[in-house]
Amino acid sequence: MTAIRRGVAAAAFVTALIVPAAASAHRQWILPSSTVLSKEGSFVTVDAAVSNDLFFFDHVPMRLDAMTITGPDGAKLTPQNAATGKYRSTFDVELAKPGTYRIGTVNDGVFASYKLNGETKRWRGRATELATAVPAGATEVKVTQSTRRVETFVTAGAPSTDALKPSGQGLELQPVTHPNDLVAGESASFKLLLDGKPARDTEVDIVLGGGRYLAKPVEAKVKTNAEGLFSYSWPQPGMYWIEAEARGGASTIPNAERSAAYVATFEVLPE
Amino acid sequence: MRLTAAATATAALSGFAAGAAQAADLQVAVEIPRLTVAEYHRPYVSMWLERGDGSAVKTLAVWYDGKKAKEEGKTWLKDMRQWWRKAGRSETLANGVTGPTRAPGRQQISFKAGASPLGALQAGQYNLVVEAAREVGGREVVRVPFTWPAKGRQSASGKGSSELGAVSVTVTP
């Protein structure tokens, strides 16, 4: 049993870290049971999974090791009743204080490909392991350092922004419109930051969940402007999935390419 | 037609005189429809004032389950989505604003100028907004425009189609 669970967790972990090309094949998501609440002390329950169809858990669970919950005052909270099953992970969050909570993971990883004795080899792991992972005789070494942020937001009472403060690392969202203040038919704006600086010309994919029941997916591609800003007018209420990926920015590994991804789940309510 | 115009003019004149007396008030009548459904719960109802640009001035009434243990009734306040977003989530409700849910039928409530929760209202065009949200039911919003202060007795009405019936507003100088 333990071995099986470990296997599942390992699979999810690999998916979470995996190279950008593979990341676009499957979508990672964190789905809260509610995003707008009117009573302090309420709970939300959260699903976290990796799948093609949004938001159906039918592939692998997201690993909870890196799951961080930041309260309205900036304090870190522990997920309650956490469990990882075959297809999804789940946990509860108590909203003891009024304001906005950030729920998410940040995964840092390194991907390397190289040639050794005429054979192409691939490796993935952590930055600290890179030096010993690539053999001395390797040629055509290509290293990509990736940071991948997956998150969602939940608010009890009036929305607040303390938990949304950017860390300055990786690709992040700075709200212009609060992510828990989204209404169908209205336009919302957000700024993307790469290592704290505007992520210009960055493509953002926006997909409405529930695609299983739609003949044609409701999705859009928008681009950030020179200030890193993008806007989108929500065509209908629902849970939306947002993904952006940026190249460039400073890598902590010499000669490594940099890839940073941002993924979020937003709830858009009817007017 | 001429008669109406004359009547209005008279009302306006007398309204002008009475306005100075500061007895102005706002009366609201809301029809909560009787519904034949398998599971009926009285709706949560909120009433608030909006300016012409849609921004909220203040909440006048919230009828909800305030007597439940551990304030459980607050859980569903957010289901009155427009009210929650525009006013409820950020407003400290004035005394006397909240009350229990009301039964189907015509429900009346009135607000006096100068007294909580209406207080001193700046002259202008407003909407009285009523939003109803029912457990295992729907949600509906009705807006009724009026001018404050009234120069004479002024009535306006709106009508819902599912969770609210007729909503009428009477403003007196």
* DSSP-assigned beta bridge partners for residue B133: B44, B139
Tens of pLDDT, residues A165-200: 999 999 999 999 999 999 999 999 999 999 999 999
Partner residue facing A271 (CB), from B74, B77, B82: B82
**What torsion do the CA atoms of A252, A15, A262, A260 make, to the nearest 10 degrees?**
20
Taking CB atoms and an 8 Å limit, are A39 and B71 in contact across chains? yes
Sorted by where each begins, the domain ranges of chain A are: 2-109+143-268, 110-142
Measure the N-to-C terminal CA separation of chain B; round to a whole number of Å.
24
Closest approach of A271 to chain B, Cα-based (Å):
7
CB contact under 8 A, B71 and A157: no
Contact of A156 with chain B, judged by CB distance below 8 Å, is answered with no
Tell me: ipTM over 0.90.
no
Kind and range of the H or E element at A20? helix A20-23
- A36: closest chain B residue by CA: B78
Distance CA B117, CA B94 (A): 6
Pairing of strands B56-63, B98-99: parallel
Count interface pairs A-B at CB distance under 8 A: 29
CB B64 within 8 A of CB B73: yes
Chain A closest-CA separation from residue B90 CA (Å): 5
CB contact under 8 A, A39 and B85: no
Quick one: tokens of B89?
Answer: 């989530």
The pair of three-digit structure tokens given for residue B124, joined into one six-digit string: 């202008």
* Residues 6 or more apart in contact with residue B10 via CB below 8 angstroms: B152
CA distance A217 to A212: 9
Residue A255 has pLDDT above 90, yes or no: no
Task: Write down the residue that tokens 């299983």 correspond to.
Answer: A212
Q: How confident is the model at residue B64 (pLDDT cuts 50, 70, 90)?
A: very high
Residue A17 has pLDDT above 80, yes or no: no
For residue B81, give the nearest of A39, A157, A270 by CB distance.
Answer: A270
Q: ∠B56-B22-B12 over CA atoms, to 5°?
A: 90
Residue B51 pairs with which residues in a beta bridge? B126
Output the six-digit token pair for A173.
Answer: 């969202």
pLDDT at residue A178, as a whole number: 98
Per-residue pLDDT at A183: 98
Q: Residue B81 and residue A37: Cβ atoms within 8 Å?
A: no
Following DSSP, what letter does each residue of A30-49 receive, concatenated? EEES-SEESSTTEEEEEEEE
Distance from CA of B25 to the nearest CA of A (A): 30
Q: Tell me the pLDDT tens digit for each residue of B99-149.
A: 999 999 999 999 999 999 999 999 999 999 999 999 999 999 999 999 999
What are the helix (H) ranges across chain B?
Answer: 2-19, 81-83
Q: Does A184 touch chain B (CB under 8 A)?
A: no
Boundaries of every domain in chain B: 2-172
Q: Report chain B residues whose CB lies below 8 A from the CB of A42.
A: 75
- Per the CB < 8 A criterion, the answer to whether B142 and B167 are in contact is yes
Q: What is the pLDDT, as a whole number, of residue A131?
A: 85
3-state helix, strand, coil in chain A (%, to 5): 10, 50, 40
Please, what CATH class does the domain formed by A2-109+143-268 belong to?
A: mainly beta
Is 70 exceeded by the pLDDT of residue B62? yes
Cβ of B78 and A42 within 8 Å? no
Q: Chain A neighbours among B 74-113 (CB < 8 Å)? A: 74-78, 81-82, 84-85, 88-90
- For residues A214-237, give the mean pLDDT: 97
